Amino acid sequence: MLIMNAPGKQQTRLLDNIDSPDDLRRLGLDELTDLAREIRETIIQTVATTGGHLAPCLGVVELTLALHYVFNTPEDKLIWDVGHQAYAHKLITGRRERFHTLRQQHGISGFPKRSESEYDVVETGHSSTSISYGLGLATAKDLKKDRSKVIAVIGDGSMTAGLAFEGLNQAGHLDKDLIVILNDNEMSISPNVGAMSSFLSRKLTGKTMTRLKQHLEERLKSLSSVGENILAVLKKSEESLKGFFTPGMLFEALKFEYIGPIPGHELDALIETLENVREHGQGPILVHVLTTKGKGYKPAEEKPGNYHGVGPFDIATGKPKPSSGPISYTKVFGNTICRLAREDERITAITAAMPAGTGLAPFSEQFPDRFFDVGIAEQHAVTFAAGLAMEGLRPVVAVYSTFMQRALDQVIHDVCLPDLPVIFALDRGGVVGDDGPTHHGVFDLSFLRYIPNLTLMAPKDENELQHMLYSAVNSEGPMAIRYPRGSGEGVELDSEFKKIETGRGELLREGSDVLLLPIGNRVYPAMEAAEGLEKLGVSAAVINPRFVKPLDKDLISLWAEKTGHVVTIEDNVKKGGFGSAVLQLFSEIHLQVPTRILGYGNKFIEHAPQPVLWKNSGIDAPGIIKGALEVLQQTKK
C-alpha cells in the first residue's frame, strides 16, 4: 500500500525529468517502478485538491507506463476509452507542470483532448468508442501502408456496451492490426454487471455451470473415445470445468487472438507481453490485463466505487471535504421514486451503469426485484423499458442527459412511436461543470422537443421535481423530466404529492414591460432579475412554463401580449430549444413580439464551474437583466 508523504512534499525526482515518453524509454525497470509510485502520489495529491477520477487513474499507472514504454507514441496511436483514466498519460506526455490545473477553469481537461496534446488521439468522455475509433484508424493506416500501431485501452465496464461489440465484430471480420487492451478491474463505476462480466471473471453461477456441464457432456459423448476421455477429466471437479471455459474463448470466437490474463501491476510482465505483441502480433489481438481499481490508495482500493469520481478530499482519512448546500436534485429524485414505489407496484427503475450517480442506489436496495442496472447500454435501457411498459409497468429510466444522446432512436422509435408510458428522468441537464463538453447536458431540450407523443418538462426546484415525478408516473404516454446537476434551491419539500396538469405553467410575478420566460433551473435567477429590473424602473412579469412540450400557449401568449417584450432563458443550446419553441408558438398564433432568446450558442462549452458558465453565457440574473434591457431598447429605436 502506498505510503503518502505529507501534502505538498512529494518526491518526484524521476517524474520531474519526464517531458515526453522518450524520457521514459531511457529508464530501467527499477526506475520505472519508482516512477509509478511518484505518479500515484502526484495523482492523489492533485485530485485531493481539484477533484477528479481518482480510482480509475490509480488502477492504470503501470499499464500506462508500459504502453508508452513499449509503443512508439505518438506515431503509434494510443486510445483511452472514456478517457477518465488518463491522468498518468497526461503526466508523462508534457502536461506535468500544468497538472495542478486539472479540471480547473482554463486548466487542463479531465479527459483526453486533441487540442491539448498530440498524444491525445481522440476526444472522449462517453464510453466504448475506442474499438471503433481504433479500427477506423487501423484500416486507414492499412490503406496508406503505414505500419505504425493502434492500441485501444477499454475497461471491463465499457466493454458491456453494444458499441464495443459492434467494433469487435467488424475488427474480427476485417482482420486489421488492432490491439485491444482490456483493462479488467471487475468494476464499472459500481461493481460491473451482466453475464459478460461474470464470464470475464469466471464467476460462473451454479445454474450456468449445470447448464454448461449438461451441454458439454452431450457434445463430448458424441465425440467417441477422445470425448469420453476429456469428459472423464473434466467431470472430476467443477473448477476444472470452469478452467475449460476461459475468457479468451469469447474473443477468439470473434476472431481476436487472446492473450492473458496478465497481472496489470507487474511492469516486467506487462512490458514483456506488450513487446511480444508489438514484434509478432498480426491481425486483431486482445490483451486481457487484470488491474485493481484505486491501486495504491487504501480507501480507494477498499471502496473503489466511492472513489471513482471524487470532489476534494482529505488524504489521510479519505473523507470528502465538507460541502454545504441544499439537498441535490439527484437525491430528491432518489427519495421520491422510493416513496412512490412503496405505493405503486408498477414502478420499476432502470439505470445504465449509474446507480449511485442517478440516485437510484436506495431504490436498488429497497426494491431489488424492480431495479435493473443494464450496464453501459443506454439504448438497451430505453427499449427494455418499452417492453416493461407494454406489460403495464411504469418504468423510470434514470440517465444523465448527455448519455441519453446515445439512445435517441430508441426514444423515438421504441417508446414514443408506440406511445408507451416510459418516464425518462434526465439528470445533469444543463452544464455540469468540471467534466466539460463531453458531459454538459445542453442538447436535450432540443433533441427531445420535436418528438411526437413525448411530454417534456423541467422543474424550477427540487419540490417541483417530486411533483413532476409523481405526475409522470400517474399519466399516460412517454414523459421526460430534465433537471440539473447539483444542489436544489433549498426550498421546503411538500409532504403530499401534487398532480401537475400537463402543459400548465404558472405565473410567478405580474409585470407590464417585459415577460421573462425561464425554464427549469433558470426560474430563480429570472425572479432575481425581475427584482433587479424593478429597481431600474422596469416591470417584469415571470412565468414558470414547467413544460417545454406542450407549452402553456394561453398563459404565455396572454402575458407576451400584455408586456409586449419577451426574454426566454434556458440552460440549453439556443438552437431548437425552449426559446425556439416559444418563437414557433408566436409564429403559429401570428403574435409579433420582440423576443430575445438566452442560452448557449452554437459551440461546445469548456469545463468550468457551473456559475461561471451561466455567467459567461448571460443566463444568470445580471445576464437576464441585460437581455431584458436590450429587448426593451430594441423597440425604442
Ligand X SMILES: Cc1ncc(C[n+]2csc(CCOP(=O)(O)OP(=O)(O)O)c2C)c(N)n1
**Interface with ligand DXP by CB under 6 A: which residues?**
82, 84, 189, 308-309, 357, 428, 432, 435, 485
Q: Of 374 and 632, which has the nearer Cβ to ligand X?
A: 374
Cell of 264: 496489470
The least distance separating ligand X from the CB of residue 69, rounded to whole angstroms, comes to 20
Q: Does 376 bind ligand X (CB under 6 A)?
A: yes
Q: Does 426 bind ligand X (CB under 6 A)?
A: no
Cell of 242: 470452469
Cell of 201: 471473471
CA distance 454 to 449: 8
Q: Does 155 bind ligand X (CB under 6 A)?
A: yes
Q: Could you tell me which residues come within 8 angstroms of residue 213 by beta carbon, excluding any fewer than 6 positions away?
A: 241
The least distance separating ligand X from the CB of residue 182, rounded to whole angstroms, comes to 9
485 binds, among ligand X, ligand DXP, Mg ion, none (CB under 5 to 8 A by kind): ligand DXP
CA distance 408 to 583: 24
CA distance 444 to 432: 13
Question: What value, to the nearest 5°, has the Cα angle with vertex 629 and ends 508 and 555?
Answer: 30
Asked whether 309 and 50 are in contact (CB, 8 A), the reply is no
The least distance separating Mg ion from the CB of residue 189, rounded to whole angstroms, comes to 9
Q: Is residue 100 annotated as involved in ligand binding?
A: no
479 binds, among Mg ion, ligand DXP, ligand X, none (CB under 5 to 8 A by kind): none
Q: Is residue 308 annotated as involved in ligand binding?
A: no
Q: Is residue 156 annotated as involved in ligand binding?
A: yes
Q: Does 134 bind ligand X (CB under 6 A)?
A: no
Query: Choosing from 77, 95, 406, 460, which is the catalytic residue?
Result: 406
Q: Does 85 bind ligand X (CB under 6 A)?
A: yes
Q: Does 185 bind Mg ion (CB under 5 A)?
A: yes
Query: Choosing from 40, 90, 293, 370, which is the catalytic residue?
Result: 293
Q: Does 157 bind ligand X (CB under 6 A)?
A: yes
Q: Is residue 471 annotated as involved in ligand binding?
A: no
Q: Does 127 bind ligand X (CB under 6 A)?
A: yes
Question: What value, to the nearest 5°, has the Cα angle with vertex 407 and ends 405 and 409?
Answer: 110
The least distance separating ligand X from the CB of residue 423, rounded to whole angstroms, comes to 19
Asked whether 575 and 602 are in contact (CB, 8 A), the reply is yes
Q: Of 26 and 203, which has the nearer Cβ to Mg ion?
A: 203
| 546 catalytic per annotation | no
Question: What value, to the nearest 5°, has the Cα angle with vertex 329 and ends 310 and 624?
Answer: 105
Which position among 353, 407, 426, 515 is part of the footprint of ligand X (CB under 6 A)?
353
Query: Choosing from 38, 123, 186, 378, which is the catalytic residue?
Result: 378
Q: Does 188 bind ligand X (CB under 6 A)?
A: yes
β 547-549/455-457 pair status: antiparallel
Q: Is residue 297 annotated as involved in ligand binding?
A: yes
Q: Is residue 126 annotated as involved in ligand binding?
A: yes
Q: Of 190 and 471, which has the nearer Cβ to Mg ion?
A: 190
Which H or E run includes 188?
Answer: none
Beta sheet of 547-549, edge-to-edge order: 371-373, 347-351, 394-400, 423-427, 479-482, 455-457, 547-549
| 406 catalytic per annotation | yes
Question: What is the x/- site pattern for Mg ion, positions 396-415, by CB under 5 A?
Answer: --------------------
Helix, strand, coil abundance in the chain, percent, nearest 5 = 45, 15, 40
Which position among 403, 443, 497, 559 is part of the footprint of ligand X (CB under 6 A)?
403
Q: Is residue 107 annotated as involved in ligand binding?
A: no
Q: Does 261 bind Mg ion (CB under 5 A)?
A: no
Which H or E run includes 257?
Answer: strand 257-263
Cell of 446: 432540443
Q: How many residues does the chain have?
A: 637
CA distance 398 to 425: 5
Give the CA distances from residue 485 to residues 171, 210, 542, 635, in Å, rounded to whole numbers and listed in that order. Answer: 38, 46, 24, 37
Q: Of 297 and 547, which has the nearer Cβ to ligand DXP?
A: 297
Residues within window 143-182 making contact with Mg ion, judged by CB under 5 A? 155-157
Q: Is residue 34 annotated as involved in ligand binding?
A: no
CA distance 624 to 532: 10
φ, ψ of residue 187 in degrees (nearest 5): -130, 140
| 331 catalytic per annotation | no
Q: Does 443 bind ligand X (CB under 6 A)?
A: no
For ligand X, which stretch binds (CB under 6 A), given 29-37, 72-80, 101-109, 351-359? Answer: 351-359
Cell of 262: 496478465
Q: Is residue 17 annotated as involved in ligand binding?
A: no
Q: Of 435 and 464, which has the nearer Cβ to ligand DXP?
A: 435
Cell of 47: 485530485
Q: Could you tell me which residues come within 8 angstroms of residue 511 by beta carbon, excluding any fewer than 6 positions away?
A: 530, 539, 540, 541, 542, 563
Helix (H, G, I), strand (E, B) or coil at 149: coil
For ligand X, which stretch binds (CB under 6 A), given 2-10, 156-164, 419-427, 609-617? Answer: 156-164
Q: Is residue 128 annotated as involved in ligand binding?
A: no
The least distance separating Mg ion from the CB of residue 187, rounded to whole angstroms, comes to 4
Residue 147 one-letter amino acid: R
Helix (H, G, I), strand (E, B) or coil at 634: helix
* Binding annotation for thiamine diphosphate: 84, 125-127, 157-158, 185, 297, 378
- Residues belonging to the active site: 293, 378, 406
Residues tagged in the binding site annotation for Mg(2+): 156, 185
Task: Give me the residues that bind ligand X (CB under 6 A), please.
Answer: 56, 59, 82, 84-85, 126-127, 155-158, 183, 185, 187-189, 293, 308, 352-354, 376, 378, 403, 406
